[in-house]
Amino acid sequence: MRLTGFATEAAPEQTAAWFRRTLGQPLVENRLGRKQILGRAEGGYYLTVQIEPGSDGRGSRGMVAVTQLPSAPQPQTREPIAHWRRLLPAGTQVTSHLQTQDNGRFATHLVALNRHGEQLNAQRLGAALRERGYALERSMTTDSAAGFPEQAAGLTLLFRGPGKEAMATITRGAQGQTSIVLLTSVQLESLP
């Protein structure tokens, strides 16, 4: 999905009329509160335009989204949140799981919290990534006393595999809560 915001001095009605002419037909139109929503399928994508009055009451603002239609081939690596909970230590709560596809790369952003130490989290995460063809390339420890007092002590792990890479940051907070942030990126041609 690609999302772009816009703002214009034209009134919402004028902006919607311009998009109607530009997008062509057939066009789906709907209203949601003060927002005018226009949509149209084009090739393997769906274009959505959302228009609303400007924040100062003048002009209009909105968003344009381009989404790949579900019938298009999807990467095989999309794991549900429950899958990640099973791979990480017991009691782990996944607070965010985002997946994107852009410029030939499939990326995952995962944020999880638990009360286990950095080393146990690193071991479990490393094992899960090794099963997916990643190898640990580098491990770095950050110390809050090492010139970065505003940064919590933690561990950063860099992984690589054929056509893919991952970075995990594991930090333990003052209240004993550990956060795991994992970013993975896979070149789509290398997916099975």
Edge-first strand order for the sheet with 2-8 is: 2-8, 60-68, 45-53, 35-42, 28-32
Give the model confidence (pLDDT) of 51-71 as tens digits: 999 988 889 999 998 887 665
The C-alpha atoms of residue 192 and residue 185 are separated, in whole angstroms, by: 15
- Domains, the chain: 2-68 (no CATH), 81-190 (3.30.310)
- In this prediction, residue 69 carries a pLDDT of 67
Q: Tell me which range, 42-51, 100-109, 116-125, 148-157, is most confidently predicted by mean pLDDT.
A: 116-125
pLDDT for residue 164 is more than 50: yes
Query: Is the pLDDT at 77 greater than 70, yes or no?
Result: no
The mean pLDDT value for 158-177 works out to 90
Cα gap 122→137, rounded to integer Å: 13
Query: What residues have CB less than 8 Å from 32, skipping those under 6 apart?
Result: none
Q: What pLDDT shows up at residue 1?
A: 67
5-9 long-range Cβ contacts below 8 angstroms, 24+ apart: 5/61, 5/62, 5/63, 6/61, 6/62, 6/63, 6/64, 7/54, 7/59, 7/60, 7/61, 8/59, 8/60, 8/61, 9/58, 9/59
pTM over 0.85: no
